[in-house]
Amino acid sequence: MKPCAFEYYTPQSVEEAIELLDRYGDDAKIIAGGQSLVPMMNFRLARPEILIDINAIQELEYIKSDGDELAMGALTRERDIEQSPLIIEKWPLLSKAISFIGHSAIRNRGTLGGSLVHADPSAEIPTSLCALNGRVKVVGPSGERTLEPEEFFLTYLTTSLEPSDLLVEIRIPALPQKMGWSFRELSRRSGDFAIVAVAILLFTEKTGVCREARISMGGVAPTPVRAEEAETLLSGQKITEKLIAEAAQQAAEETDTEPDYHASAEYRMDMARVFVKRGLQEAWNMLNGGQ
């Protein structure tokens, strides 16, 4: 099918975009990369009367760091983040996670902000943002505000954005130099949506002892889930194979899985356990220099 007709605007600045959103409210939809929106429009599932194309707003496309924090504009293309030398060096988890998104044609157009606002709980960017303790900056008619992932992701495909809000920036704190990390996902074919995805970070101070663990899981609940009780199990502990298995089991119990025709709820929960276990092993090996 072909999309329904719509009015089309190309604002050149954030202010212009917000003014349009404020004017048209619920009848308007922002288009950035279009990799999630246009399929829905082609099926006529989405029929926005007004399309606000923000691709001309250059000021929203950037990757920069002041040493302490990574700041990325919402319009930054997924491929640019994946290939950024700065991110590969300092926030490699994010680059690896993005490499799992579809195929290069999707990543060439798809944007960081678009993926976050689409809020698919199986998606790689929301899942890794939660592991990285990232925050999002939103601008609306009444000003700007910064949100934590728990405040931003509400449920399936739903964020706390109001109709007149625009996501403009994502900030991720610097990571300690000594870290182990892993991003893994289960999918039938390379590039498919994840059945489960895990993003893991481990930090250490004393050899053999885990100072802090971060375990974020995608595809296991209406939003990405940080397995906080599993993280507590690992924190301050000497890491052993047995403890990793226990933590993985605990993480699985923190999921809230639903069945669909790709996987039953039980399978997803068990795969969460398996992938957290593998991810923890990978991150731990990395931290200990491959021992």
Q: Out of 141, 173, 176, 191, which residue is the one contacting another protein (CB under 8 A)?
A: 191
Structure-token pair, residue 89: 């060096």
Cα–Cα distance measured from residue 235 to residue 280, given in angstroms and rounded to the nearest whole number: 13
Among 95, 111, 122, 164, binds another protein (CB under 8 A): 122
* CA 262 – CA 42 distance, rounded (Å): 24
Q: Identify residues 54-73 at the interface with another protein (CB under 8 A).
A: 55
Q: Rg for the chain (alpha carbons), in Å?
A: 19
Residue 109 or 171 having the CB closest to another protein = 109
Q: Which regions of 174-233 does DSSP assign to beta strands (E)?
A: 179-186, 196-204, 210-218, 225-226
Question: Helices 241-253 & 265-287, crossing angle to 10 degrees?
Answer: 140
- Residue 85 makes contact with another protein by CB under 8 A: no
> Residue 276 is which amino acid?
V
Size of the site for another protein (CB under 8 A): 52
Instruction: Determine the straight-line distance between the first and last CA of the chain, rounded to whole angstroms.
Output: 55
- Report the residue count for the chain: 291
Nearer to another protein among residue 97 and residue 234 (C-beta): 97
User: Does 245 sit near another protein (CB under 8 A)?
Assistant: no
What is the nearest approach in angstroms of another protein to the Cβ of residue 232? 27
Could you give the angle at which helices 92-99 and 124-131 cross, rounded to 10 degrees?
160
Residue 102 sits in the site that holds another protein (CB under 8 A): yes
Tokens read off for 166: 């625009």
With binding defined as CB under 8 A, does residue 4 bind another protein?
A: yes
Please report whether residue 277 would count as binding another protein according to CB under 8 A. no
C-beta closer to another protein: residue 86 or 157:
157
Binding to another protein by residue 220, rule CB under 8 A? Answer: no
Candidates 47, 145, 188, 238; binder of another protein (CB under 8 A) is: 47
Neighbours of 207 (CB within 10 A): 8
Strand 50-53 relative to strand 7-9, pairing: parallel
Q: Applying CB under 8 A, does 86 fall inside the site for another protein?
A: no
CB within 8 A of 234, min separation 6: which ones?
202, 210, 213, 243, 247, 280
Q: Which is nearer to another protein, 58 or 108 (CB)?
A: 108
Closer to another protein by CB, 23 or 47: give it.
Answer: 47
* Binding test (CB under 8 A) with another protein, winner from 158, 232, 235, 285: 158
Q: Can you tell me which of 118, 184, 273, 277 binds another protein, judged by CB under 8 A?
A: 118
Which residues make up the interface to another protein (CB under 8 A)?
A: 1-8, 29, 34-35, 37-48, 51, 53, 55, 79, 102-106, 108-109, 118-120, 122, 155-158, 189-191, 193, 222, 258-262
